[in-house]
Chain A
């Protein structure tokens, strides 16, 4: 029983990590129709911000707080200068964002000298409930993920900004005719997605090592999550990420670990074959 609770906690913690990473990707894919291949590197920039603040003796906290802001600004600049040219050509957008990601990744690799860096948890240690120890930082990630999901959902589904974003997505021409500045909204949405990526990077980096490849290892699973959940909705990618996260951490218990990764893909692809629209049909936010 004890073990089952711990196991469930670990799966929940990893699922939260997946959801955090997928959220920004899902927002940009659903709201703007851009598959952002630089997403992993935005996660990396968030992680790198924490490393910089830790290196300069400020501790990890200022970095965790600054990461979404810094990466959000990077996202804003990227959208205004590069991404906005890609809206008409989604395939070229994939290649373009991949190139951006590659540039960011190799610059950071150079700055790190190829080394792996350990970042301490801002709050380390564990708390006990009923004789079981739970990592404080993992619990913090779970809680933050829930808050971020709720906040993002409220922002996009319950505020006038969200309404305009959705309107601009649904019918850009009509939205512009109604006096909505779609250009500015897209920039805002992209910056928001980037900020979520930055936050994800800042929160997960203490669990992993900071290396230039920290983002890329999650990227393929993140795309799978978006596909599984369904593009065009907010809830879809969140559900998709939960399913992929739970499978990725749970499957090694029942099959050989080297088979678990491919099996996640097989299951997800089989599901998408049967239900091409994903968990949740598009067009409803």
Chain B
């Protein structure tokens, strides 16, 4: 840490201590019942209270902790450069514990006890569905949802800052059909809402581009054996697998697919939630050639994104919770910055109607993967989308970005 950074951080040290301990040992946080990260300076009007509701514990804790760290990182940056029009941001965390039942109560605390001005968070669609009503309707508070998802969320005062199915499919699927020459698609999927709605959209794009879907199939989330699926892939001469199976059913499927020689015989495995974290879930040889499409990859050549990564690495040295697109971390960063832009536009007014009206046409010049802008009246953001292919360099995996589409329309609402 450089000298100037140290001076800036000293005042916050006491508060940060607690928060970084939480990040390091996220699974203890459940007992603590919420955390506050206060700015080190005050403003006459008091701080802007930002609530983060994310999964610090439970099955998707790795993503939740990444979200929390990115939120701290973004807010500290804003506070260090003078806050929003001179008002600092105070962060309030509640653990949603990967469990919608627990989440609803904890989110209510943010609203009723802490009186936050905005809530960001929720990763799975089930979580969003569970907490949006306590936040938006009963809680009368602005809600920002950061994860890539299945679309069709058009609730007033709920802004989505992650990519929609259109953003993930509109460029990727034509690429696989026209450039890679794939014609026969299989859609193996986990049996819940995200794969079902994403597949519905992807199927339309596949058929519109002259290819066909050989089968679309849903599995229990923890299925351990896929030989029947592999059989259908071989039998149906499938040359492109559009996968939406998720962990824990994911790894046995990918392994059996690899063992069947699918990739060796020219097949392409594609998966639109694969970021840098997911690659570590598999041996490198099974990941070779995987095609993904996201709003950000660490490998993209963008100076601002590189500065962000460096800052994040410095703030959380050696962290196991990466700043990546698939775990909603990029959406979280964008959400915080969109909120900053909106409050700046209202001239510091924090009322929900005022901020939402400003948010509706907010623009970010910079961000992970480039800038983003809200599509007025549509609650979703245009952003750059990237197609990347996974390369195996002697047992080490990395993404190679092969395509960039500027300001892709979310086509939602």
A110–B281 Cα distance when bound, in Å, is 18
Q: Are B281 and A3 in contact (CB under 8 A)?
A: no
Name A2's closest neighbour in chain B (CB-CB): B234
B contacts with A, residue count (CB < 8 A): 42
With an 8 A cutoff between CB atoms, is A126 at the interface? yes
Kindly state whether residue B346 has any CB partner on chain A within 8 Å. Answer: no
Contacts of A258 in B (CB 8 A): 191, 218-220
User: Does B210 interact with chain A (Cβ within 8 Å)?
Assistant: no
Enumerate chain B residues within 8 angstroms of A251, measured Cβ to Cβ: 228
| Those of A54-113 within 8 Å (CB) of chain B | 109-110, 113
Say which residue of A6, A117, A217, A257 sits within 8 Å of B229 (CB atoms): A257
Q: Is the CB of B225 within 8 A of A3?
A: no
Binary CB contact string for chain B from 217 to 241 against chain A (1 if under 8 A, 0 otherwise): 1111011111111111011000000
A10-B256, A114-B61 known; A208+B228 contact, CB < 8 A: no
Residue from B228, B234, B248 within 8 A of A253 (CB atoms): B228
Complex Cα–Cα for A68 and B27 (A): 29
Tell yes or no: B259 within 8 A of A by CB: yes
Q: In this complex, which of B59, B225, B232, B260 has the most chain A Cβ atoms within 10 angstroms of its Cβ?
A: B225
**Please, how many angstroms separate the alpha-carbon atoms of A257 and B217 in the complex?**
7
* Cβ–Cβ contact A252 & B229, under 8 A: yes
**Contact: B227 with A110, CB < 8 Å?**
no
B residues less than 8 Å from A7 (CB atoms): 227, 231
Once the chains bind, are B247 and A211 in contact (CB under 8 Å)? Answer: yes
A118-B283, A249-B228, A257-B217 given; A208·B251 CB < 8 A: yes
Chain A window 250-270, contacts with chain B (Cβ cutoff 8 Å), 1 for yes, 0 for no? 111100111001000000000
The secondary structure that dominates the A interface is: helix
Q: Which residues of A contact B234 (CB under 8 A)?
A: 3
- Is B348 part of the binding interface, using a Cβ–Cβ cutoff of 8 Å? no
Pair B235/A257 contact, Cβ less than 8 Å = no
Asked if residues B256 and A209 are in contact (CB atoms below 8 Å), the reply is no
Determine which of B60, B62, B223, B255 lies in contact with A207 in the assembled complex, contact meaning CB atoms within 8 Å.
B255
| Interface of chain B residues 254 through 312 with chain A (CB within 8 A) | 255-256, 259-261, 280-283, 285
Type the 1/0 row for B385-397, where 1 means its CB is closer than 8 Å to any CB of A.
Answer: 0000000000000
Q: State the CA gap A241–B26 with chains docked (Å).
A: 38
Which of chain A's residues have a CB closer than 8 A to the CB of B218? 256-258
Question: Does A190 lie at the interface of the complex (its beta carbon under 8 Å from any beta carbon of B)?
Answer: no
CA distance A248 to B227 in the complex (A): 10
For B283, list chain A residues within 8 Å (CB). 118, 120-121, 124
CA distance A7 to B259 in the complex (A): 12
Q: Answer whether residue B320 sits at the interface, using C-beta atoms and an 8 A cutoff.
A: yes
Task: Determine if A243 is an interface residue (Cβ-Cβ < 8 Å).
Answer: no
Query: Which residues from chain B contact A126 at a C-beta distance below 8 Å?
Result: 259
Q: Give the residues in chain B near A207, CB-CB below 8 Å.
A: 252, 255
Contact A115–B224 (Cβ < 8 Å): no
- B25, chain A: closest CB distance, angstroms: 8
Cβ of B99 to closest chain A Cβ, rounded Å: 13
Q: Of B223, B226, B228, B281, which is within 8 A of A116 by CB?
A: B281
Nearest-neighbor residue (CB-CB) of B282 within chain A: A118
Question: Given A3-B234, A124-B283, A258-B218, A116 and B247 touching (CB < 8 A)?
Answer: yes
Residue B367, interface by CB 8 Å:
no
How far, in whole Å, are A48 and B165 apart by their CA atoms in the complex? 37
**Interface pairs A-B: 3 shortest CB-CB:** A10-B227, A114-B61, A252-B228
Report 29 cross-chain contacts, Cβ distance below 8 Å, ordered by A residue. Answer: A6-B227, A6-B260, A113-B27, A114-B27, A114-B60, A115-B320, A116-B248, A117-B281, A118-B283, A135-B259, A207-B252, A208-B224, A208-B251, A209-B247, A209-B281, A211-B248, A213-B222, A217-B224, A218-B224, A250-B228, A252-B219, A252-B228, A252-B229, A257-B217, A257-B219, A257-B220, A257-B223, A257-B228, A258-B191
